[in-house]
Amino acid sequence: MRYNSFRFISLALLATMILFIPVEAQKKQKDSRAQAAFEAGEYFEAIDLYKNAYNKIGDRDRKIAILFKIGECYRILGDARSAELWYKKAVREEYQDPIIYLRYAQMMLTNEKYEEAKELYKEYHDLVPDDPRGTIGMESCEAAIVWQENPTGYIVENMRYFNSRQRDFAPAYVNNSYTEVYFSSTREDATGNDTHGATGQNFADIFSSSMDRKGKWSVPVPVESLNSEFEDGAPNASADFSTLYFTRCKKAKNQQLGCEIYKADKEGGDWSEPEVVFEEFGDSITTAHPAISPDGLTLYFVSDMPGGLGEHDIWKVSRESEGGTWGSPVNLGEKINTPGNELFPFVHHDGTLYFSSDSRIGLGGLDIYKAHLDETGSWIVENMKPPINSPEDDFGIVFEAEVERGFFSSSRKGRGNDDIFSFVLPPLEFSVTGVVRDERNDQILAGSKVKSVGSDGITVETTTGENGSFKFMLKPGTDYVFIASHQDYLNGKERESTRGLDQSRNFEITIYLASITRVIELPNIFYDFAKWDLRPESMVSLDRLVETLNDNPNVTIELMSHTDSRGTPADNIALSQKRAQSVVDYLISKGIAPDRLQAKGYGETHPKVVDEKVKAQYDFLEIGDVLTESFINQLDSPELQEKAHQVNRRTEFRVLSTDYIPKN
């Protein structure tokens, strides 16, 4: 998606970008100087050269190709708005290579124009169905909206102590107290007087800043022993901070010599003379962005070497012991690498691999991802989402070993082109606030006892105040049951869980209790006409009754079934008795003791008296109405009469005793 020439060419490796270059652009014509600058990675200079060439060239196809190349320069430099403008011009002029739709869509996504981006990704997918980036782009447009509306709990702040008006990025801790940080910067204090043709800024150097006892960071200064006349950056220290790995990219005018990984060892208070890690590669293959594993036996890095899956992949080399010889490079495979760019790996103390990618489902530009190996040895990759990720480029993350805290770099709005940001995930805090109410009339039940029972084996109890409320503090990764009780009421409960939650939260619940002094209706108990077999949709309500009886093991109940007034009284009594018995039989099948249950059919003899719940459902009825046959017959329409008959056809239960003693 978005590219920054310095990140991708110097420290991020593009000795030669894998781009779609029209054949005619290779010829020595009026745009040859621009093409030479482009191929050498001098994108900042190439823009002006291409614009000058565009005004002097008459051939239409070559002019259209230049529009695309100017867009490419802006994209690589990280200027998505300008890139979008030039890609749009190329599309209007019918640039023929399908890659234009992918690049244009990527810029639209970065600029948060999701609907337009989605259409362009679809166009690219239709033209190049074998490239997954079309489908991934469409999914990214949908995910970006959802993720931005639901950020994670990280707190992100701009590190103004580190940042300049130039590019500052790729931080690394270099001591075990996490009070000294190295990072890459193109600020004015960088070594050398040359201006980088790719960025128009200085060549990058490694800078250092330290935090004092008051928590204030010092003014960054160059690490002289590591810096050279070339570009130096993307540092990464070993777990004991005795060895530092970093990238050095040699550069000459109109010539990109490649990037190599260097290392230096701590000697006293300074670093030894840096030496190349992979002598056998030379500078013909780009190797960059080193990341050493906590045990020091695996070195991850980024390269465009043959055998990769995309433009730039993450590779690894291993050794049997520290100081041993590195083995052959191994590509991390398609679970990590894509047809695009995977960059800036970092290995956490716990073994989690973090990296940036421009070709996975994301918000635009480079997003930061984390990956861990499952029990089968396969990588499981997850986007870190906002606020760690943004529509801009986000990359180069680093963590403290034992705390969810660290730094990363981003091209989002800040002090300069790329800035370093701090992040921290505050300790998760969970609580539940609730109220206990009467299930019939919503009346607050002050003085209720409420128990919190956690899956960790801890039980806490409280009593509700005058407002019927209660509150418990909860632990992460725990299931909870909240059980409420009150005199003359059946126990009631609610459940919540903090498992899998990555943001602090206060749950709000209401526990409704049913009075044992009233008849309690069982909702949604259904039978076919003139039959007593329970229909499948009745089971949900009856399973809740099973749970209620298990929660109240000392009660016995009478199951009461009622019919409407249609049919003979005798038939209705018989039918309702069979229906009540079918409920009892179901409860017994679920383990409820038979001597706790009685079945009674009342036929049409107990018409429903309208209460608050019925009134809320049927506004043509009033509280206190008795749904007798004569009352129903005087309703305005057959439709209303049928609804009233439905209210009468019901199954209820009432508590007979509260002193039942289970036999077992």
**342 and 467, same domain (yes or no):** no
Residues 21 and 34 sit within 8 Å (Cβ to Cβ): no
What's the average model confidence in pLDDT over 199-222?
89
Choice between 522 and 126, residue whose per-residue pLDDT is larger: 126
| Residue 409: inside a domain | yes
| Residue 295: inside a domain | yes
pLDDT value at position 6? 40
Residues 653 and 638 sit within 8 Å (Cβ to Cβ): no
Please report, for the domain that includes residue 461, its CATH number: 2.60.40.1120
**53 and 144, same domain (yes or no):** yes
Long-range residue pairs from 306-311, CB within 8 A, at least 24 positions apart, any chain = 307/331, 308/337, 309/333, 309/334, 309/337, 309/338, 309/339, 310/337, 310/338, 310/339, 310/340, 310/341, 310/342, 310/359, 311/17, 311/18, 311/339, 311/340, 311/341
Q: What is the spatial distance between Cα 112 and Cα 109, in angstroms, rounded to a whole number?
A: 5
Res 274 pLDDT > 80: yes
Per residue in 170-201, pLDDT (tens digit) is: 999 999 999 999 999 999 887 755 555 555 56
| Residue 308: inside a domain | yes
**238 and 103, same domain (yes or no):** no
Per residue in 365-411, pLDDT (tens digit) is: 999 999 999 989 999 999 999 999 999 999 999 999 999 999 999 99
Give start and end residues of each alpha helix (H) in 325-378. none
pLDDT value at position 256? 55
Report residue 268's pLDDT band, with 50, 70 and 90 as the boundaries. confident
Res 13 pLDDT > 60: no
| Residue 663: inside a domain | no
| Residue 566: inside a domain | yes
Peptide bond preceding 387 in cis form (omega within 30 of 0): yes
Residues 560 and 600 sit within 8 Å (Cβ to Cβ): yes
Res 21 pLDDT > 80: no
**373 and 474, same domain (yes or no):** no
pLDDT value at position 649? 85
Name the pTM for this structure.
0.70
| Residue 664: inside a domain | no
For all residues of the chain together, what is the average pLDDT? 89
pLDDT value at position 522? 85
Structure tokens at 622: 């009033």
pLDDT value at position 216? 94
For the chain, give percent helix, strand, coil, nearest 5. 25, 30, 45
What's the average model confidence in pLDDT over 289-304?
96
What's the average model confidence in pLDDT over 333-340?
94
**137 and 173, same domain (yes or no):** no
Q: What is the spatial distance between Cα 411 and Cα 2, in angstroms, rounded to a whole number?
A: 10
**215 and 128, same domain (yes or no):** no
3-state SS class at 122: helix
Which residue, 424, 453, 477, sits at the end of a domain?
424
3-state SS class at 71: helix
Per residue in 222-267, pLDDT (tens digit) is: 999 999 988 999 999 999 999 999 999 886 555 556 789 999 999 8
Res 12 pLDDT > 50: no
Residue entry with tokens 């801890």: 458
What's the average model confidence in pLDDT over 141-153?
93
**291 and 415, same domain (yes or no):** yes
pLDDT value at position 199? 57
**579 and 648, same domain (yes or no):** yes
| Residue 548: inside a domain | yes
pLDDT value at position 531? 76
pLDDT value at position 520? 86
Please report, for the domain that includes residue 607, its CATH number: 3.30.1330.60
Which residue, 128, 149, 170, sits at the end of a domain?
149
Q: What is the spatial distance between Cα 128 and Cα 189, in angstroms, rounded to a whole number?
A: 46
Q: Which residues touch 349 (CB under 8 Å, ≥6 apart)?
A: 239, 294, 399, 401, 402
3-state SS class at 118: helix
pLDDT value at position 23? 37
Instruction: Give the neighbor-by-neighbor strand order of the sheet with 298-303.
Output: 287-292, 298-303, 313-318, 330-331
- Domain extent, residue 441, equals 430-513
Q: Which residues touch 463 (CB under 8 Å, ≥6 apart)?
A: 447, 448, 449, 450, 470
Structure tokens at 445: 């039940």
Report residue 417's pLDDT band, with 50, 70 and 90 as the boundaries. confident
Helix (H), strand (E) at residue 236:
strand 231-237
pLDDT value at position 20? 33
| Residue 662: inside a domain | no
**347 and 217, same domain (yes or no):** yes
What's the average model confidence in pLDDT over 637-645?
92
What's the average model confidence in pLDDT over 460-485?
96
Per residue in 581-610, pLDDT (tens digit) is: 999 999 999 999 999 999 999 999 999 999
Which residue, 81, 114, 149, sits at the end of a domain?
149
Per residue in 90-124, pLDDT (tens digit) is: 999 999 999 999 999 999 999 999 999 999 999 99
Res 446 pLDDT > 50: yes
Count of Cβ atoms closer than 10 Å to residue 62 Cβ: 18
Residues 417 and 166 sit within 8 Å (Cβ to Cβ): yes
**122 and 206, same domain (yes or no):** no
Share of the chain above pLDDT 70, in %: 91
- Nearest CA to 151 out of 388, 431, 366 is that of 388
Please report, for the domain that includes residue 255, its CATH number: 2.120.10.30
pLDDT value at position 617? 87
Report residue 168's pLDDT band, with 50, 70 and 90 as the boundaries. very high
The count of domains in the chain is: 4
**304 and 417, same domain (yes or no):** yes
Residue entry with tokens 């008006």: 165
What's the average model confidence in pLDDT over 192-218?
80
**386 and 265, same domain (yes or no):** yes
Tell me how many degrees the CA angle 408-411-416 measures, rounded to the nearest 5: 100
Q: What is the spatial distance between Cα 174 and Cα 163, in angstroms, rounded to a whole number?
A: 18
Please report, for the domain that includes residue 19, its CATH number: 1.25.40.10
Per residue in 30-67, pLDDT (tens digit) is: 678 889 888 888 888 899 999 999 988 888 999 999 99
Phi, psi angle pair for 69, to nearest 5°: -65, -35
Per residue in 555-575, pLDDT (tens digit) is: 999 999 998 888 899 999 999
Q: What is the spatial distance between Cα 552 and Cα 592, in angstroms, rounded to a whole number?
A: 11
Res 456 pLDDT > 60: yes
